[in-house]
Amino acid sequence: MNLHEYQGKELLKSYGVKIQEGIVAETDAEAVAAAKKIKELYNSDWCVIKAQIHAGGRGKGGGVKLAKSPEQAGQIADDILGMMLKTPQTPPEGKLVRKVLVAQDVFYPGASDPKEFYISILTDRGRGCNVIIYSPDGGMDIEKVAEETPERVFTENIDPLLGLRPFQAQKVAFNLGLSGQAYKEMVDFVQKLYAAFVGSDASLFEINPCLKTSDDRIIAVDAKVALDDNGLFRHPNLEALRDTSEEDPVDVEARTHDLNYVKLDGNVGCMVNGAGLAMATMDLIQLSGGEPANFLDVGGTADAQRVENAMRIILKDPHVKAILINIFGGIVRCDRVAQGVVDAYHTIGNIPVPVIVRLQGTNADLGKKIIDESGLKVYGAVEFQEAADLVKKVLMG
Ligand code: GDP
Ligand code: MN
């Protein structure tokens, strides 16, 4: 689950990480009021208006703008709110901006120049640990830095059992070229950031830029936060931050029915009980000349209601030319599943694509009999290969 910048920053702040403060606004009038409040709190007329969408690269797309007065903040907010913001990370048509963050300007001049760093923390499944990736050359061109000067991007592996050790946080601050007060602040920043990452069961934190202000404070100016869906049950307060308007409507529907659904690019929809069997089924489809349109695990209780919900979700994808239902009856009885398929057929009404049902395990033969005798355009199979051949046959027409 992804958070908006303003939500990510609140999460960081709750762990003591210093952030660029701001106030969320949904109208230009709210933006003016927010800018006045910012002026009062931080004694500066300037503020930054930042589009809140689930995509980065907003600065490049015109979604981050400096305002030099509360009135101007209102004008800029008026321009940004309601726009389809296009960035390198949005779909081609862009994303609708529903909220802006009115943030304090933190790039003011002082004893030294402000400096932008890049710091991210993520779970590296290959290495089996968390890693901190960081660079002294942060800011909007970090992709170019990674490509052209990869030696300027550093990596620190964190042992999940030992956690972040103090010398590692010190190494980060050192490699970022800091000294004195800024060095101390950075060590503290990295430690708190890591505590926030572990404490929220996150899978990604990306702070770009992490800013050294001209008076040597270290603050998070941006926060891209992705949380591990499997850890969300431990954080109802974070789960509550979900913005479904930013998510794919089909994913949202699948989640409300508690189905594990991942859309893919192929033409054969699959409905399977168990993730391992689902993977094997996707291989089977591929081997028989098709391409899986999705991964869908209906879970252990493949009852009629779940079969129907899953069928509806699969059918939302216009690329689906056939559906393969592959169920292993362990605890679940195949005749029940078969009846579920027949029932779903009647309730949904018109299912425009052929459906192949392979049932194996408890009462498999009885299940196949129900399918075969239903009189519907459903093909029953018992063996894996039989199902594969049927997929091939229906795809070839
Ligand atoms: P992103 O483009 O989606 O990653 O959005 P960011 O939050 O990273 O903002 C983009 C850029 O806006 C930053 O890299 C900064 O250069 C600039 N920016 C952000 N906050 C401020 C600010 O307070 N003052 C000024 N002058 N620039 C800012
Ligand atoms: Mn950024």
Provide the residue-wise pLDDT of the chain in tens; the chain has 397 residues. 999 999 999 999 999 999 999 999 999 999 999 999 999 999 999 999 999 999 999 999 999 999 999 999 999 999 999 999 999 999 999 999 999 999 999 998 888 899 999 999 999 999 999 999 999 999 999 999 999 999 999 999 999 999 999 999 999 999 999 999 999 999 999 999 999 999 999 999 999 999 999 999 999 999 999 999 999 999 999 999 999 999 989 999 999 998 999 999 999 999 999 899 999 999 989 988 899 999 999 887 777 788 889 999 999 999 999 999 999 988 888 888 888 889 888 888 888 999 999 999 999 999 999 999 998 888 888 888 888 889 889 888 7
Ligand 1 and 140: CB distance under 6 A: yes
Are 113 and 243 contained in the same domain? yes
Q: Domain end: 247, 264, 293, which one?
A: 247
Are 339 and 191 contained in the same domain? no
Q: For residue 4, what are its two tokens?
A: 């908006």
Ligand 1 and 209: CB distance under 6 A: yes
Residue ranges with strand state E in 315-371: 322-329, 355-361
Are 139 and 230 contained in the same domain? yes
**Other residues' Cβ atoms within 10 Å of the Cβ of residue 152:** 15
Whole domain around residue 168: which residue ranges? 1-20+108-247
**Other residues' Cβ atoms within 10 Å of the Cβ of residue 63:** 25
Distance CA 6, CA 23 (A): 8
Pairing of strands 84-85, 95-96: antiparallel
Are 339 and 295 contained in the same domain? yes
Q: For residue 330, what are its two tokens?
A: 């362990």
CATH code: domain of residue 320: 3.40.50.261
Are 94 and 120 contained in the same domain? no
Are 49 and 164 contained in the same domain? no
Question: Among 206, 246, 261, 308, which one carries the catalytic annotation?
Answer: 206
Q: Determine the pLDDT at residue 48.
A: 98
**Other residues' Cβ atoms within 10 Å of the Cβ of residue 156:** 18
Q: How far does the centroid of ligand 2 lie from the alpha carbon of residue 287, in Å?
A: 43
> Burial letters for 270-306: b for 16+ Cβ neighbours within 10 Å, e otherwise?
bbbbbeebbeebbebbeebebebbbbbbbbeebebeb
CA angle 79, 80, 83 (to 5 degrees): 100
Q: Domain end: 247, 269, 304, which one?
A: 247
Are 252 and 358 contained in the same domain? yes
Are 281 and 382 contained in the same domain? yes
What's this model's pTM, rounded to 2 decimal places? 0.85
Are 115 and 260 contained in the same domain? no
Q: Domain end: 223, 247, 271, which one?
A: 247
Are 384 and 270 contained in the same domain? yes
Amino acid at 322: A
Q: How far does the centroid of ligand 1 lie from the alpha carbon of residue 224, in Å?
A: 13
For ligand 1, atom 9, name the residue with the nearest CA: 59
Are 148 and 282 contained in the same domain? no
The most distant pair of C-alpha atoms in the chain lies apart, rounded to whole Å, by 84
CATH code: domain of residue 113: 3.30.470.20
The best mutation among 46, 107, 142 to test binding of ligand 1, ranked by most ligand atoms within 8 Å of the C-beta, falls on: 107
159, 136 Cβ separation under 8 angstroms: no
The best mutation among 4, 20, 48, 214 to test binding of ligand 1, ranked by most ligand atoms within 8 Å of the C-beta, falls on: 48
Are 261 and 381 contained in the same domain? yes
Residues, CB within 5 angstroms of ligand 2 (ion): 208, 222
For ligand 1, atom 19, name the residue with the nearest CA: 221
Number of domains in the chain: 3
